[in-house]
Amino acid sequence: MAEKSSPKIALAMLVKDEPELLRANLAYHHYVGVDTVYVFIDGDDPATRDSIRDLPYVQLPSETATPTLGAHSNVARARAEADRDHNNRQLLAMAASMERARADDCDWLIFRDPDELVCVDRRRAAPGGLPELFAAVPAGADAVYLPPFEVLQGDSEAGAPFWSATWFKGPGWKLKKRLWDPVAQNHVTLDGFYGHTVGKMAVRLTANAVPASVHGFTAWDGGTLQTAERAMLLHYYAFDSVDFRRKFARIDPDRVSYPDGRSVAPQKTLWTRMIAGGALDDDALEGYYREWVGFSAKQRRSARWRDWISPPWAKKRLVRVTSVRDAFEGPLVEVAKQADAPA
């Protein structure tokens, strides 16, 4: 068999009620070199399915079949508890994607959420950038770790497309912030992050690997995969007040822990119960987002000043990424125009 000129990349995700983000997200990844996308729809969601049905590089599997990986305890446990938790259904979609991607002769699989983008270069989004990145991964590495960079909330105007944001919190910014609880009428201390700091993984499909969690993979025997760190995982988490409401309206307000035993972060519990309980109307929620969730101009200036006085080797608090915005204002401009009216 002739050797491939460049690796074939597959992307997969489990989605529900997210037509606002999905089409632009998939178009971007196809532009930077993803060959095939597997989108698993969680439950009955015809609007999301119809928004991407016409994209020729997208497959919409109707089931999470795992004839090979289903024998592993991680996958078997997730299937047994799939009705209980979204994370279990995500792990099943990861396993099913691995089997499909192998059958489709793909070399790498990336599994991520609809509000996450893989960024190869923060200044320029080049066509085919992802295959070039994976072609340069050492042969001994069976996984690529994508470190997370969470959007700076408040960088976009309410209702603006997610891709218009250009400022992201770097690994050097550990948040310490007080948040107001309008239900209990007291403050909650945020210590660490809004979304997650774990990042995501891509897996080499020739590896004897299995999904370990929604964030990554392990070897079949439970060992650690040799991993290379590359690129950036841009996380557009609650990027504006509209997305803030949309995100937390979908979460079970009574959820206190994840399938792996981790507790739900206090800010997520606060915001889920606040929005599910209807504590604030739309105008009040916009004001709450600006004051308590978003970052003010003063806070941004302070972070940038601290970066400026830090030594060159220090991790940055803020990182500017313009490549995604420029792609949607240039080669993907037609996709950008359709953002508010998916096909």
Cα–Cα nearest to 317, from 177, 169, 196, 193: 169
The DSSP bridge partners found for residue 228 are 144
pLDDT value of residue 73: 96
66-80, 150-164, 262-276, 303-317: which has the highest mean pLDDT?
A: 66-80
Give the global pTM: 0.92
Is it the case that residue 35 has pLDDT exceeding 50?
yes
DSSP 217: E
pLDDT grade for 2, boundaries at 50, 70 and 90: very low
Strands 108-111 and 200-204: antiparallel
Per residue in 254-267, pLDDT (tens digit) is 777 776 677 777 88
pLDDT grade for 197, boundaries at 50, 70 and 90: confident
The DSSP bridge partners found for residue 37 are 11, 58
Tokens of 151: 């959007």
Average pLDDT over residues 103-114: 96
Is it the case that residue 108 has pLDDT exceeding 90?
yes
Element holding 118 (H helix, E strand): strand 116-119
Per residue in 205-233, pLDDT (tens digit) is 999 999 999 999 999 999 999 999 999 99
Is it the case that residue 342 has pLDDT exceeding 50?
no
| Rounded Cα distance, 78 and 210, in Å | 12
